[in-house]
């Protein structure tokens, strides 16, 4: 027997979250300043169910130094900044969470 699936139903269940042009401009502006200063070297953009993640790397082959996540409808704000498993900032606007990079952040190696 065959099962019939309506594609419209599948698309409605799977909502794609992405960064818009303004958000990408802000993220890449910050990224380019840190690349110019020699702090950061690479980035990646991932799309997971219900979220978009902008990851920042010191070296391509390593784990990301920071991850900036957009999670619409998530508790505690729509945007979050992580350093590994540690949440550094969360807020309702991207500008709010990017302020965490105005402070001099130091990477602690354990």
Domain locations in the chain as residue ranges:
15-101
- The per-residue pLDDT for 18 is 92
91 contacts 71 by C-beta, under 8 angstroms: no
- The per-residue pLDDT for 98 is 95
Q: What is the DSSP-derived secondary structure letter of residue 20? A: -
Q: How many CA atoms lie within 13 A of 69 on its CB side?
A: 25
| Mean pLDDT score, 87-104 | 90
Is residue 108 very low, low, confident or very high in pLDDT (cuts 50, 70, 90)?
low
Q: What is the pTM of this model?
A: 0.78
Q: Which tens digits make up the pLDDT trace of 13-70?
A: 567 899 999 999 999 999 999 999 999 999 999 999 889 999 999 987 789 999 999 9
β strands within the chain, DSSP E:
42-48, 51-57, 66-70, 79-83, 86-91
43 contacts 31 by C-beta, under 8 angstroms: yes
């Amino acid at each position: 027997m065959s099962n019939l699936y309506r594609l419209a139903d599948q698309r409605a269940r799977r909502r794609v979250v992405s960064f818009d042009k303004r958000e990408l401009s802000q993220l890449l502006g910050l990224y380019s300043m840190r690349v110019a200063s020699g702090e950061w070297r690479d980035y990646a953009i991932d799309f997971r169910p219900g979220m978009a993640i902008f990851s920042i790397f010191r070296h391509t082959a390593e784990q990301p130094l920071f991850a900036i996540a957009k999670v619409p409808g998530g508790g505690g704000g729509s945007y979050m900044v992580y350093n590994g498993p540690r949440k550094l900032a969360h807020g309702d606007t991207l500008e709010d969470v990017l302020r965490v990079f105005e402070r001099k952040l130091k990477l602690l190696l354990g």
